[in-house]
Amino acid sequence: MKKITIGIDPGISGGICAYDGKNMTNVQKCPGSPEEMSDSLQEIIKDYGITA
C-alpha cells in the first residue's frame, strides 16, 4: 500500500506538497480557493495512484 504525507500551509504565502517517505514532490503555491485546493489534492492522490 502506498503511503504519502500531504502538507498544507494555507494562506497567501503558503503552499501544498506531498512526501512519500523519501522525496518531497508536488510542491506548489497554496491554491487561491477551496475548490482549487480540492483539485490540487485530487491531483496529488491521482498521481500517486491512491484509491479510497
Distance CA 27, CA 25 (A): 5
Q: Given pLDDT bands bounded at 50, 70 and 90, which one contains residue 50?
A: confident
Mean pLDDT of the chain: 87
pLDDT exceeds cutoff 70 at 52 = no
SS (H, E, C) the chain: CCCCEEEEECCCCCEEEEECCCCEEEEEECCCCHHHHHHHHHHHHHHCCCCC
Q: What is the pLDDT of residue 47?
A: 84
